[in-house]
């Protein structure tokens, strides 16, 4: 009894942990879907599924349009460039938020043979029109926006040729995809008629079938490092069809900005080279090539050449006065004696001349 009671409590949680497409808005017009696994109550453009559980395994036939998907009775009108807002919901009745936040959102289209309301898509040839992974420069998936009620948005290619088409909206939940077979696929198909007069069309190399477009071991489905950031994610399946102008691919590798950044940081650090031998030498206190003062040789030219006269040496024998300085301003003792003798002689002559002059004056005074 306890086990039954516990299961009854857990079951609603498990059911609400999955989801489906509850509605789609095309150029502002809302198209409701039918609840999961019930008898259809409205004519919808969304193919109804019988379980909101994920499709498991890349070879599962339900990978085409969802678990037990049934033909829808209605077809929506659209044009090249039309905006589709796909409303993913949790649970089975559309009244719960989308439960997952890890993995890509991708959109494909396939041309129907005749009306899409009667077209068996088992062998449809799908081409990719958009892919959204990590928001640029972050480790946050676009899928996480669905949890707050935002729709998955995609535009019909602006150059798509007119015709009847299925749009396949797909979420891959990767929270268990670290091991093979853990990826959870949520596909849904919407029936359209596209008008206009464009001519764009895919080539055979753009197209895949479902199942057949994925393998369980390819990058983007088997993701062993999904919780080891920085995440580098590769979208599975084909690239966006080559004819689409301005294809919508958003951050397949969300870590490419931080990876580059880290490379730049690495480059920046490597840009500061190890000091060269010359810079190491310049930091030495005494360069090995420079002689120490004690070993400096005595110059052969006078020490005061080009500078102030040196002070008198304490030892004349060790520093003899150069003979070339005899004519300098500081003369020898002999020269000083000769100068004093000349000065004495001239003073004596001046005294004699003064005495004669005084005697001459006296004589002149006596005669008068």
3 state SS for 147-209: HHCCCEEEECCCCECCEEEEEEEEEEECCCCCCCCCCEEEEEEEEEEECCCCCECCCHHHEEC
Residue 330 has pLDDT above 70, yes or no: no
> Is residue 207 within 8 Å of 123, Cβ to Cβ?
no
> Is residue 349 within 8 Å of 357, Cβ to Cβ?
no
In a domain, residue 133? The reply is: yes
In a domain, residue 353? The reply is: no
In a domain, residue 94? The reply is: yes
Locate 332 and state its tokens.
Answer: 């020898």
- Cα separation of 96 and 87, whole Å? 11
Per the DSSP assignment, residues forming a β-bridge with 288 are none
Residue 181 confidence (pLDDT)? 97
CATH number for 38: 2.70.50.70
Whether pTM exceeds 0.75: no
Locate 231 and state its tokens.
Answer: 């995440």
- Tell me the H-state helices in the chain: 2-16, 256-270, 277-282, 333-367
In a domain, residue 103? The reply is: yes
In a domain, residue 247? The reply is: yes
Please state, rounded to an integer, the average pLDDT across all residues of the chain: 76
In a domain, residue 354? The reply is: no
What is the pLDDT averaged over residues 314-324?
A: 40
- Cα separation of 3 and 9, whole Å? 10
Q: Read off the pLDDT of residues 159-218 as tens digits, 9 standing for 90 and up.
A: 999 999 999 999 999 999 999 999 999 999 999 999 999 999 999 999 999 999 999 999
Locate 186 and state its tokens.
Answer: 């949520």
In a domain, residue 66? The reply is: yes
Residue 351 has pLDDT above 50, yes or no: no
Residue 11 has pLDDT above 70, yes or no: no
- Cα separation of 103 and 146, whole Å? 12
Q: Which of 23, 151, 160, 24 is nearest to 81 (CA)?
A: 160
Question: CB atoms < 10 A from the CB of 289, how many?
Answer: 6
Residue 125 has pLDDT above 70, yes or no: yes
Ranges 35-44, 150-159, 320-329, 338-347, most confident: 150-159
Number of domains in the chain: 1
The residue whose two tokens read 């005899």 is: 326
Ramachandran category for residue 182: left, alpha or beta (phi over 0 → left; psi -120 to 50 → alpha): alpha
What is the pLDDT averaged over residues 44-59?
A: 98
In a domain, residue 310? The reply is: no
Domain limits for position 153: 19-259
């Amino acid at each position: 009894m306890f086990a039954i009671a516990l299961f009854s409590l857990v079951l609603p949680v498990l059911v609400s942990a999955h989801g489906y497409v509850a509605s789609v808005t095309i150029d502002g017009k809302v198209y409701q879907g039918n609840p999961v696994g019930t008898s259809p109550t409205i004519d919808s453009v969304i193919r109804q599924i019988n379980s909101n559980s994920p499709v498991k395994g890349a070879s599962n036939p339900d990978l085409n349009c969802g678990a037990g998907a049934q033909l829808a009775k209605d077809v929506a009108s659209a044009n090249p460039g039309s905006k589709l807002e796909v409303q993913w919901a949790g649970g089975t009745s559309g009244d719960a938020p989308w439960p997952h936040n890890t993995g890509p959102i991708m959109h494909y289209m396939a041309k129907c043979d005749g009306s899409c309301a009667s077209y068996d898509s088992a062998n449809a040839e799908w081409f990719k029109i958009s892919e959204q992974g990590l928001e640029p420069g972050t480790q946050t998936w676009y899928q996480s926006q669905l949890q707050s009620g935002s729709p998955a948005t995609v535009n019909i290619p602006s150059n798509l040729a007119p015709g009847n088409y299925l749009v396949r909206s797909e979420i891959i939940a990767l929270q268990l995809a670290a091991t093979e077979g853990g990826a959870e696929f949520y596909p849904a198909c919407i029936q359209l008629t596209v008008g206009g007069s464009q001519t764009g069309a895919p080539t055979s190399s753009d197209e895949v079938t479902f199942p057949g477009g994925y393998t369980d071991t390819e990058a983007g489905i088997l993701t062993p490092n999904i919780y080891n950031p920085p995440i580098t994610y590769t979208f599975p399946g084909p690239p966006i069809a080559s004819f689409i102008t301005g294809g919508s691919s958003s951050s397949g590798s969300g870590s490419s900005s931080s990876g580059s950044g880290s490379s730049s940081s690495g480059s920046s650090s490597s840009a500061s080279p190890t000091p060269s031998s010359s810079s190491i030498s310049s930091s030495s206190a005494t360069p090995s090539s420079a002689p120490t003062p004690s070993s400096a040789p005595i110059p052969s030219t006078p020490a005061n050449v080009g500078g102030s006269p040196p002070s008198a040496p304490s030892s004349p024998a060790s520093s003899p006065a150069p003979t070339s300085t005899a004519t300098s301003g500081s003369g020898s003792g002999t020269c000083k004696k000769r100068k004093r003798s000349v000065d004495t002689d001239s003073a004596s002559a001046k005294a004699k001349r003064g005495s004669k002059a005084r005697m001459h004056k006296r004589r002149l005074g006596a005669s008068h």
